[in-house]
Amino acid sequence: MIKVIGLLKRRPGMTVAEFREYYETRHRLIGEKYLTGFASRYRRRFLDPSPDRVTGELSEAEYDVIMEIWYPDQATYEAASARLAEPEVTREIIADEERLFDRPKMRFFLVGEERESDVSG
């Protein structure tokens, strides 16, 4: 399994509600359009403000969403990457990203290993 993680921030001037609405009603559909047939999962984890550990004051998260895409294997990941790199696909994705994200703040990572602890008691 190959997993890609994206840390994404909404564009300046966009509210959290506007961001989530646009992502789920428009941008998500572009993702599904190009990930279908390649990815096995496409998940968005929207972040809420959390209390500061010292002051208890709510502060806005550095990112608004953690995006996760799972691919079943390296070959499928590479095939999806090639599709997403096609000029017309890239243009469509970037044009929509500019409506939604603060693109210079976008960060993407490949997950190398995952470990999980059993803390159920």
Q: Are 81 and 108 in contact (CB under 8 A)?
A: no
This prediction has a pTM of: 0.89
Cα-only R_g, the chain? 16
Measure the CA–CA gap between 79 and 12, rounded to whole angstroms: 33
* Predicted local distance difference test score (pLDDT) of residue 23: 98
Measure the CA–CA gap between 96 and 67, rounded to whole angstroms: 16
Domains of the chain: 2-52+59-111 (3.30.70.100)
* Predicted local distance difference test score (pLDDT) of residue 12: 96
Q: Are 33 and 54 in contact (CB under 8 A)?
A: no
With a cut of 90, say whether residue 47 has pLDDT above it.
yes
User: Residue 40: is it exposed, middle or buried by C-beta count within 10 angstroms (0-12/13-18/19+)?
Assistant: middle
For 1, the enclosing helix (H) or strand (E) is none
pLDDT tens, position by position, 12-46 = 999 999 999 999 999 999 999 999 999 999 999 99
pLDDT tens, position by position, 56-115 = 888 888 999 999 999 999 999 999 999 999 999 999 999 999 999 999 999 999 998 889
Taking alpha carbons only, the member of 104, 45, 98 closest to residue 69 is 45
